[in-house]
Structure 1
Amino acid sequence: MQSLFQILMLIVDIAWFILIAHIVMSWLINFQVLNLRQHIVAQVWYGLNRLLEPVYSRIRAFLPQMGGLDFAPLVALIALYAVRIILINNASAFY
């Protein structure tokens, strides 16, 4: 059962990294540090969007309109961190 716990924690850590990468990349694109006309930047950006948009769209369905501000990534990060806390607190069930 310890293996299952470690696998779940690995999945949560990978999802956390992907979310952070998407958030940082969106800031860099908005502040024109990164340019979507560069092929590799565009590929990474669209790949991250394809991964995360299904999650964000479900979150946006519950959030009120905020006038151009998108809190879906923040809610996703908080939810993922809550899952991590739940897994750690219930780690004894995996042993």
Structure 2
Amino acid sequence: MRALLNVILLALQLYTYLIVASAILSWLVAFNVVNTRNNFVRSIWNFLDAVTEPVLRPIRSILPNLGGVDISPIILILLIIFIQNLIVDYLMPIAF
């Protein structure tokens, strides 16, 4: 049971890194630092969008319009941290 919880914690941590990478890449594209016409950049962009967008879309639909500011990745990261803390504090001590 403990090994399964460690795998879940690792997956949540990796997903957090993917969210941060997606946010940074979106900034780089918005400020025209990287070009999405490059095949490598486009493939990374499509991968990160396919992985993070299904989770971020429901959060964006709940949040009010804040203009050009998108805080949905921050809310998702806070939610992931909350889930990780629940696992560590409540499930790990009872897992043998």
1:35 touches 1:41 (CA, 8 Å); kept in 2? yes
Q: For residues 12-55 of structure 1, what are the alpha-carbon distances to aligned partners after superposition, in whole Å with 9 as ceiling and x for unaligned?
A: 11111111111111122222221111111011101111111111
Structure 2 counterparts to residues 12-91 of structure 1, below 5 A = 12-90=12-90, 91=92
Kept in 2, the 8 Å contact 1:29–1:35? The answer is yes
User: Structure 2: how far apart are the matches of 1:67 and 1:5?
Assistant: 39
Runs of 5+ consecutive residues of structure 2 not aligned to the other structure: none
Alpha-carbon shift at residue 68 of structure 1 (Å): 2.3
Taking the aligned partners of 1:93 and 1:5, their CA distance within structure 2 comes to 11
CA contact (8 A) 1:16 1:80 kept: yes
Separation of aligned partners in 2, 1:45 and 1:94 = 39
Identity in percent: 26
Match of 2:7 in 1: 7
Q: C-alpha root-mean-square deviation of aligned residues, in Å?
A: 1.3
TM-score (ref. length: structure 2): 0.89
Q: What's the TM-score once normalised by structure 1's chain length?
A: 0.89
* CA positional deviation for 1:93: 2.2
Matched-pair contact (CA < 8 Å) for 1:12–1:84: yes
SS in 1 for 2:5: helix
